[in-house]
Structure 1
Amino acid sequence: MGREFSKRARGAEMKAAAWVGRHPGSVLAPSVVTASGLELGWATTGGIVGGTVAGLGAWYRAHPDTFDRLAAPRLRSWRRRWWTYVGLRWRNALIACDLFTTHRKTGELRVPRLVRVRSYSPSVDTLYVKLHPGQHLRQFEAKLPELTEALKVERIALERVKPRVIALVVERAEPFTEVIEAPEMPQDADAVELGRLSVGENEYGGDWRIPVLGQHLFAAGATGAGKNSIPAAVLRGLAPMIRDGSVRLWLCDPKQMEFAKLAPIAYRYAAEEQACADLIDEYVDDMQATQQALSGQGKRAITPSPVTPLNLLVLDEMGALLAYGDPSVGRGLRRQLALIGSQGRASGHSMLGLVQEPTKDTVPVRDLFTNRICLRVTSAAHVDMVLGENARLRGALADEIPNDPATAGIGYVIRQRSRVPMRVRAAYVTDTELDELVTFVREGWKGTPANLQVVAG
């Protein structure tokens, strides 16, 4: 493949034949339309094409969820491949950045070939590129600033897919340019949707919703990434159920900063390391007692109510609890959290964990969390640790989010059906809005205030 014996370049007709072989659909579609026009008449063919377009438009308007999941990525990929990254545009961009080789004998410029384009979301494209012999990923890394400007995009990340094939993950635009306001607190418990609490917005302009009942939520992000906005938004959505006693908040707060405001509405609150361990031990005891009660009643799951409440364990700074403190306490906590992660869903015992460093050494129970969020992180490897294998390759560029207060709350989640990364932004909950939450719960509290106790301050 890399040998260069002849001084003659390959014929243009052979290049054209090879192109047709690589892109049969782009040749077949116009051919089918032409054949239909000749055979059925152009009016009939126009009606068929128009009906197809009208059908897609109706689908787009009538059922956005399935259209965005099934049709939009394919249509967007095709448009970007044959308009944004088409032939000469792609070739000229790479030549301008010196990302080509020259045939030693013929002098022919050999530009890396664009093999495939995938556009899983409106703001991120993944370009699969086949390199020529003598080229390497490092050459593209050295030219990333120039290539970013040449393609007129926000940023580009690189991944090696296999020998001589690399992927350029291209972020075309930033969908979030404004801070998202905190979600409104429902006034009645009946208005709370435990399966889809609103915590922000997604890159499609819709609400970003997450389930709480029967789920464990894991959020990773560096300092200042906006992790605390997620549990704050969740708790605002749960406010009337906390007030009515249908949700009990168990809060481990080693940092003793933002969440200290929530101590008055917590069923249990702890800050010191041993106190947090005691709180989690009590949480596990409560879970096991609920399991026994459900077993005796022949039930498989709870319906949240003041009698059988949903218990939510919020774990701030999990690294401080599991890895950075007393090793003996950390070992016990890992064992207890593994029990909660593997057994707590049916009994209504959910976890919401926050961490800066999502490695297995820091959070060995990471894989037991059913829903995960990756905000700005400091390493490309952290993205796949949080969101799963090849998440970054599919467009989750969480390590490329700028370390800027204006980007707080921006991150990625995996869409459950398609397994495609989706860019999201958590709503920003101010201190005033946290105070509003506490006041709302305390003033309308229908349980016994004595139940609210601090394990350790």
Structure 2
Amino acid sequence: MAPTSTKSFTRVYPRAHNHRLSSRSAGAEWRALGWLARHPLFLLALAALIGALVLAGPLVTGCVLGGLLLIGGLWGRCHPATFDRWAAPLLRPAWRRWTAYRGRRWAAVLADCELARENRRTGRLVVPRLLRVRSSSPSIDTLYVRPARGQDLRTWTDRADALADALTAHRVAITRTRPGVLAIVVEREMPFDHVIPAPDIPSDSADVDLSALDVGDNEHGQPFTLRVLGTHVLVAGASGSGKGSLLWAPMRAMGPAIRDGLIRLWVIDLKGGAETSRGAPLFHRHAPTMTDALRVLHDVRDVLKQRQEHMRANNLRRLDVSADWPLDVVVIDEMAMLTAYGERSDVRDALRLLAELLTQGRACLISVMGYVQEPSKDVVDVRELFPTRVCLGVTAASHVDMVLGEGARERGALADEIPGDPRHAGIGFVIDQGSRLPVRFRAAYVSDTEIDELVDRCAPVPRLRALAPSDQDETDDSGRAV
């Protein structure tokens, strides 16, 4: 007799947690719809193209597209300055987004750098989302990324060097812009691998453009110019960053106007005058001590008041540069010695006089050019009164925004990443006043021989005239040349 088999009559009930989410990933069609929702411009462009093909036909549509490409190419070739300023910042990010940072390549780069991880439940690769690409210049891209869950700023900064190598970039800097969003500044290359020669001295004062002095080259291969008429200039940079280039190069560009009495240089150098004494014959006044500096500031303030009185009496809103009304340029080498590190009473007087010149001087043909190593508010209390600001290589990331304005570093002004060796002296950033984007430049190097050439050719000759006995007490520091 065969043994009877015992069967289990236990009823199987559904498990209480069988409602958990499926481990299957969303279908490709849903991912495609999500992608289109995040990129509506692509959908609009596709719809516009289809509409043009239906309404105008392929021939007309092709001719229009070809004409637009031709116009863009001719614009870029014939007038690169305006193309780089207006069109390139719009076209370049789109090109980079769909080439260097396209989906699968971006995922592969992050996976190789251990910044993408596998979802243990679904087995899919979780890739930090690239939200936006900005490209302010040919050599710098800014990527806005939403990191994967569980990642923070340190996760990314620890892998910055690996990410730079994976992107074949010169350098990568990463900051946190807001909760859940990182800004990755990709410096693709260093555009300046050679020293910029000193600008030629113009042959005549009529050739001097005080609104655009040629002092170097920018990263687009165009002249980098500096305005001195109707503005004040602050140059910040660590020791050895090349501030001297932005002191002497403008003087070379202004040389004939200095010689002809159209520009007067009032130079304050509280490091004993050692770094500026070579050009002393060019200067209207030279102040190597705090006492001399305060006297110079007082005298320039007196010129300001005299000119304001003249303008009020003659119902003038501004003055034009002439031999009678020269442009007075106050050059302050190492402002911290004047505004922070001196005796408290001297610093207070200097700040008061500087504030008067900076707030009232532009209409009266008075410009201030200040040079400083540490641009914090404690050191340069009048920093915000300088409309034109230039940032050379600095030692802290916070210094960049102090000089160029909030968010400048995030937009690509990596001045704190500029190497401090002499091979990179003179490299810095300014903010383009039209696009508000940072532009990298390199100031021209001016040697001692070229300073001597400037002095020999452009030192002003004293203007002499016979004085009546009653005129003996007159000085030549009034607003008008004597």
Q: Secondary structure at the match of 1:251?
A: strand
| Matching residue within 373, 380, 390 for 1:363 | 380
Deviations 1:419-449 (A, max 9, x none): 110001100011111111111123x626359
| Matching residue within 226, 240, 246 for 1:230 | 246
Distance 1:172 1:301 in 2: 45
For residue 113 of structure 2, what is the aligned residue in structure 1?
97
Unpaired runs of 5+ residues, structure 1, are 453-457
Bigger drift between 206-215 and 30-39 goes to 30-39
Q: Cα offset for 1:261?
A: 0.9
Contact kept in structure 2, 1:267 and 1:451, CA below 8 Å = no
For residue 267 of structure 1, what is the aligned residue in structure 2?
284
Q: Cα offset for 1:257?
A: 2.7
For residue 351 of structure 2, what is the aligned residue in structure 1?
334
Q: Secondary structure at the match of 2:231?
A: coil
Distance 1:241 1:447 in 2: 15
Look up the equivalent residue of 2:96 and give its one-letter code.
R
Q: Secondary structure at the match of 1:84?
A: coil
Deviations 1:182-215 (A, max 9, x none): 1111121111111111111111101011111111
Give the superposed CA RMSD: 1.7
For residue 455 of structure 1, what is the aligned residue in structure 2?
none
Q: Cα offset for 1:31?
A: 4.3
Bigger drift between 17-26 and 78-87 goes to 17-26
Percent identical across equivalent pairs? Answer: 46
Distance 1:185 1:445 in 2: 18
Contact kept in structure 2, 1:245 and 1:446, CA below 8 Å = no
Q: Secondary structure at the match of 1:314?
A: strand
Bigger drift between 63-72 and 425-434 goes to 63-72
Q: Cα offset for 1:33?
A: 2.8
Q: Secondary structure at the match of 1:149?
A: helix
Q: Secondary structure at the match of 1:201?
A: strand
Contact kept in structure 2, 1:126 and 1:168, CA below 8 Å = yes
For residue 53 of structure 2, what is the aligned residue in structure 1?
37
* 2:329 corresponds to 1:322: no
For residue 371 of structure 2, what is the aligned residue in structure 1?
354
Q: Cα offset for 1:119?
A: 0.7
Q: Cα offset for 1:106?
A: 1.7
Superposition map of 1:330-409 within 5 A: 330-409=347-426
For residue 206 of structure 1, what is the aligned residue in structure 2?
222
Aligned length: 448
Look up the equivalent residue of 1:167 and give its one-letter code.
A
* 2:208 corresponds to 1:192: yes
Distance 1:273 1:406 in 2: 34
Distance 2:397 2:433 in 1: 22
Unpaired runs of 5+ residues, structure 2, are 1-19, 466-474, 478-482
The TM-score normalised by the length of structure 1 is: 0.94
Distance 1:15 1:394 in 2: 31
Q: Cα offset for 1:417?
A: 1.1
| Matching residue within 434, 454, 462 for 1:417 | 434
Q: Secondary structure at the match of 2:234?
A: strand
Question: Computing the radius of gyration over CA atoms, which structure comes out larger, 1 or 2?
Answer: 2
Contact kept in structure 1, 2:214 and 2:225, CA below 8 Å = yes
Contact kept in structure 2, 1:215 and 1:370, CA below 8 Å = yes
Distance 2:150 2:330 in 1: 54
The TM-score normalised by the length of structure 2 is: 0.90
Look up the equivalent residue of 2:218 and give its one-letter code.
N
Distance 1:377 1:441 in 2: 33
For residue 426 of structure 1, what is the aligned residue in structure 2?
443
* 2:196 corresponds to 1:171: no
For residue 181 of structure 1, what is the aligned residue in structure 2?
197
Contact kept in structure 1, 2:107 and 2:116, CA below 8 Å = no
Bigger drift between 16-25 and 78-87 goes to 16-25
Q: Secondary structure at the match of 2:276?
A: helix
Look up the equivalent residue of 1:86 and give its one-letter code.
R
